[in-house]
Amino acid sequence: MKMEESIKQWAKFIKETKGYDVELIECFTDMDHIQKFRPGKWHIYSFWLNENDLALKIGVAGPNSSARFSSQHYNENSANSNLAKSLLNSGMCQNDAKLWIKNNTYRINVVFNNFSKPLAYALESHLHLLYEPYFEK
């Protein structure tokens, strides 16, 4: 998986330059949008278009952010910034953003152990630079 390899290379760089061990627990493709939030762990989630593997959104969910990871991106009224709202505002989706997301995207979800907020946001920024998510520009 391309994203998993990118994360492993980043983790190696962080280890070599800063001495931090980044323990990747799991990186998995979620075609069915059945999220596996692990309380107490840091998560990176991303949404990709089925048809051309274009990254739409890449984000971070902290150890206590189950709603951010699991549900907020499917409901345009759930948070100030979410995928559903971005899809509707852009015209990419006309209505029922949750159904559109489930039918037209897949997720790549990554779980870490022994992570910190600065590392999480550094990795998120790194992935934004690599994959240029459509709604993160």
CA distance 49 to 30: 12
Residues of the chain below pLDDT 70: 1
What pLDDT score was predicted for residue 45? Answer: 95
What pLDDT score was predicted for residue 71? Answer: 92
What does pTM read for this prediction?
A: 0.92
CA distance 1 to 3: 6
